[in-house]
Amino acid sequence: MSFFKNSKIRGITAFGLGLGLCFAAGCTMRPLYGDNAVSGSNFAGVENREGLRAQLASITIDEPQDRFSQIVRNRLVYLLAGGAGEPASPRYKLSLNAGYIVQQAVQVNVGDNTEREGRASSGTVIASADYVLREPGDKGKEVIVQRRKRSVTSSFDRPRQEYANLQAEEDAKKRAAQELAESIYLSLAQTMASKPGLASR
């Protein structure tokens, strides 16, 4: 009994020391998900570099082809411009091809043998996007600045009620779309930060 008590005390003490060191070093904690998980203001260094912020805000995005792409695009527009909307005089153009698939993650038996046997208890939305960033080049030709692919996953539970089941899947799609946009934003910011002339601005 004393062994477990001593172990518990040591664990609490270690956690307290670690937390104290973190605050002493100026650590900050930020949510991994949610509307404030990634934004223009908390991407490291962006808020203090006007040149980089201006470059990101000058990106225009092609019109979406479906609702999922619309969610991705809306989130990207917000992040790139810091909530100011689309640029009036864009310099860069982003072509975006986003999509998703829904996979059943787990199979379980629910109820007796006659009631929805083998119904999936959870699912996973796998979202991905191919995108190309271009800027004007010589003689009116566009130059590719970045061409990449990003993907994210978002899991969800499947309740027995049909409406709740559909709503859970839709919520997972929205989360995946927003997280996909955030991943693209970070990639674009890193690319812009490495462009000549912005390294020290």
The tens digit of pLDDT for each residue in 12-68 reads 444 444 444 444 444 333 333 333 344 444 454 554 466 888 889 999 999 998 999
Is residue 54 one of the residues assigned to a domain?
A: yes
Reported pTM? 0.68
Is residue 141 one of the residues assigned to a domain?
A: yes
Looking at the structure of the chain, the number of domains it has is: 1
Spell out a b/e string for 164-182, using b for 16 or more CB atoms within 10 Å of the CB, else e: ebeebbeebbbbbbbbbbb
104, 123 contact by CB (below 8 A):
yes
Is residue 5 one of the residues assigned to a domain?
A: no
Q: What is the chain's pLDDT, residue by residue, as a tens digit (201 residues)?
A: 443 344 444 444 444 444 444 444 443 333 333 333 444 444 545 544 668 888 899 999 999 989 999 999 999 999 998 888 788 888 999 999 999 999 876 555 555 554 555 566 888 999 999 999 999 877 778 899 999 999 999 998 888 788 888 899 999 999 999 999 999 999 999 988 887 655 444
Please give the residue range of the domain that contains residue 125.
Answer: 39-193
Is residue 156 one of the residues assigned to a domain?
A: yes
- CATH number of the domain where residue 74 is located: 3.30.160.150
CA 39 to CA 36: how far, in whole Å? 6
Three-state SS letters, 2-56: HHHHHHHHHHHHHHHHHHHHHHHCCCCCCCCCCCCCCCCCCCCCHHHCHHHHHHH
CA 77 to CA 84: how far, in whole Å? 8
Is residue 150 one of the residues assigned to a domain?
A: yes
In degrees, rounded to 5, the angle at the alpha carbon of residue 70 between the alpha carbons of residues 132 and 97 is: 30
- What SS3 state is found at 164? helix
